[in-house]
Structure 1
Amino acid sequence: NINGLISALCLQFEDMAQAKVRIHDTLVHYLDARNFPQGNSSADPLQEKLQVFYIDRKATESDEAVEFELSSPADLRGLR
């Protein structure tokens, strides 16, 4: 919550309820060459696991952090 940026977004967008959150997981082995001083010949932007969630609600908020509860897309079927 650096400089209150996330808190400001919560105020502007109704605690960001139902906002889509995408998490991209990959192994270091596949990171872009720019992340390595010598480059990375095994870099592969297609090697990732994508997870999609939606913000269910804001759980806690402080000057240092904002914590959200997430729901899977299956939990929201019929609500949109």
Structure 2
Amino acid sequence: GTLVLGGRIKVPTLSGEEEVEIAPGTEPDEVLVLQGRGLPGPRGLGDLKVRLKVIIPKRLGREERRLLQAFTERLSPPDPPRRPTI
């Protein structure tokens, strides 16, 4: 939901949890780079890279299933018109 709608997620960093803004329409497996929040190195702190994953629920309740089906139907393109066969 957050990748589609946007929002904030909590990301564990070396200095504790940090909230990160996710833009609407973010793709799964996109990598966010948190500059200066990675491991220390000779030139200071490195970057922390966060790969965004989609978690698919194993079970849906009746209402969740109904809402997801309605949403999917709205996104599905209409069937192309059928050409008559001879």
> TM-score normalised by the shorter chain: which range applies?
under 0.3
> What's the TM-score, normalizing by structure 2?
0.23
> What's the TM-score, normalizing by structure 1?
0.24
Structure with more relative contact order (C-alpha pairs < 8 Å, separation 6 or more): 1
Higher share in helix: 1
Bigger Rg, which one: 2
